[in-house]
Amino acid sequence: FLGEDEGNRCRIRAYEGAPACVLVLGSSAHYTPTGNWFWGVKHRRDAERGLPDSEDVYQPGTFRLQMTPGERVTIVLSSEPQLPAEFGGSQHEVAVEKAWTRHQQRVQQLLATANQSKDSLPQRDPVLARLILAADQFIVARPARARDSQPDSGQGHLSTELKTVIAGYPWFTDWGRDSMISLPGLLLGTGRYDEARALLKAFASYTHGGLIPNRFPDSGEAPEYNTIDATLWLFYVLDRYIATTGDWSLLNELFLTLSSSVDWHVEGTIYGIGVDPADGLLRGGTPGVQLTWMDARVGDWVVTPRHGKPVEVNALWYYALTCMESWAGRFSLDASRFSQLRSKVREHFARRFWYDAGGYLYDVVDVEGIAGQHDASLRPNQLFAASLTPSLLTGEQMRSMLQKVTETLLTPLGLRSLSPDDPSYCKHFDGNQQQRDGAYHRGTVWQWLIGPYVDVHLSVYNDRAALRSLLQPLVQHLWDACLGTISEVAEPEPPFTPAGCYAQAWSVAEVLRCWRSVQV
């Protein structure tokens, strides 16, 4: 480390040429270099995740100052190349107050922007205001990839900046699936329509083999495309964007890409993703590759492969075809290929997925490509069939499914990922990385799944008061664990201790979206 001290401030660099970190207090403070090392500091949470869990920590120095009763002292930490001169001077606290005022002004601007989307609810509802501020924490600028000379290659290099969605802190980067699922709450639900538009265009521009990326690696390598559902979520989000903003021009820009994506799905693309011509349903899966949101993997062990025809994937597939049929008609284009395929999916969906003996939907049909092999695991994925495409089920089927999910999967902090009655159910989300990843989608509670549950409950019972009560534990969670945000997962048994990422984008997004939807 390289350190420079200037009375009441210090400037630290990890090495020559590295960005500097500046720490400064008021003019009465004095900085003394120490250069102390603390060897082998253990990080318990990293150890739990199977990550490198010890490091040597450097203490560059100490600040000392005398304080009088009631005096306020603020330490400023900055990575700006040139910190304004008033910081550290006689007007240090005044400068701090001005910076705080600018922050408060930005908060008010965020709330004012959110007012575009629904009445003046954010200013009248402190819960929604808190959720809007929590949502803002996941929307960040990161280097974008400049497109190369070969379209549809999925390659690129780092270029100018754009906004993206961080899936969760402190471990995750930006993921296609997470971004699409989060966008209605984080951006449409907060009035940030321009950023929603830009994000949809950005992901669509990286379409490769009919798929949008699953993940952008931090170090700038080519995007990863191991996802069967992220692209289908884009159709849903674009439909919600148009319904919210009335901006049909974006559809005009993306229609050919979307049409090509459907063709890729019909003809077949990577990872065995393609349409079964017998029933029109979408299937996918290759050994050792996880494709759905239940994507835990430890080494070569894919914990929940779900290869075959997953239920939520085919609900999304039907939704995408419905959109394309409607959109083609808007442009006076031949929509017959979309309508014929949509009709085929509609004809076979309930027939293939409805588990009559259980009163709910199979999680996967034609498992591992074996015709007639069904996975009857009671999971929350079936909710999307009713929340996205209720016309695929009868009212009686929706009520039966909702009752089963409520009785077995619903908890105060979200939905279990597997029924406690299942032999594979894991009662705890703890232990080393292999143990936790093994439990990740085999019982662990996921907060974001409250979204489709609320949608289906609202559709079946239209009881907003009951749903407001249902959401209260998640609202209270804003003041638990990491303050002001919502965790990724929770233990599947009482007391449902929060776990995983302490701040998760789709958890905040879906609670925000649901909280809006249940207001009178």
Kindly provide the residue ranges of all beta strands, DSSP E only, lying in 392-460, ordered along the sequence. 410-411, 414-416, 445-446
**221-246 residue pLDDT tens:** 789 999 999 999 999 999 999 999 99
Choice among 49-53, 98-102, 390-394 with the minimum mean pLDDT: 49-53
Share of residues in the chain with pLDDT > 90 (%): 81
Span 133-160, average pLDDT? 60
- Contact of 285 with 271, CB cutoff 8 Å: yes
pLDDT of residue 161: 53
What's the whole-number average pLDDT of the chain? Answer: 92
Q: E strand or H helix at 347, and its extent?
A: helix 336-353
| pLDDT above 50 for 149 | no
Tell me the sheet residues that pair with 36.
Answer: 59
pLDDT of residue 153: 45
**349-369 residue pLDDT tens:** 999 999 999 999 999 999 999
Tell me the sheet residues that pair with 415.
Answer: 410, 446
- Contact of 425 with 418, CB cutoff 8 Å: yes
CA dihedral of 477, 76, 26, 105, whole degrees rounded to 10: -70
Sign of CA dihedral 363, 443, 494, 358: positive
- The residue behind tokens 């100018």 is 160
Tell me the sheet residues that pair with 354.
Answer: 361
- The residue behind tokens 């249902």 is 470
Number of C-beta neighbours around residue 169 at 10 A: 16
Share of residues in the chain with pLDDT > 70 (%): 94
**104-142 residue pLDDT tens:** 999 999 999 998 755 566 667 899 999 999 999 999 987
Sign of CA dihedral 441, 443, 444, 448: positive
pLDDT of residue 122: 60
Query: CA–CA separation, 302 vs 293, rounded Å?
Result: 12
Highest-confidence range of 26-40, 136-150, 212-226, 330-344, by mean pLDDT?
330-344
pLDDT of residue 155: 43
Query: CA–CA separation, 483 vs 503, rounded Å?
Result: 9
pLDDT of residue 520: 72
Q: What are phi and psi of 349, to 5 degrees?
A: -60, -65
Choice among 133-147, 321-335, 336-350, 384-398 with the minimum mean pLDDT: 133-147
Polymer length of the chain: 520
Query: CA–CA separation, 272 vs 225, rounded Å?
Result: 12
- The residue behind tokens 């027939």 is 351
Query: CA–CA separation, 449 vs 123, rounded Å?
Result: 27
Q: List the domain boundaries for the chain.
A: 2-90, 128-267, 274-404, 409-520
Tell me the sheet residues that pair with 42.
Answer: 54
**287-317 residue pLDDT tens:** 999 999 999 998 889 999 999 999 999 999 9
**Residue 6 binned pLDDT confidence (cut-offs 50, 70, 90):** confident
**166-214 residue pLDDT tens:** 999 998 989 999 999 999 999 999 999 999 999 999 999 999 999 999 9
Burial class of residue 357 (count of CB atoms within 10 Å of its CB; 0-12, 13-18, 19+): exposed
pTM: 0.92
Query: CA–CA separation, 309 vs 368, rounded Å?
Result: 9
- The residue behind tokens 């299937």 is 283
| pLDDT above 60 for 148 | no
pLDDT of residue 111: 92
pLDDT of residue 123: 64
Query: CA–CA separation, 57 vs 511, rounded Å?
Result: 38
Q: What angle do CA 246, 247, 251 make, to 5 degrees?
A: 120
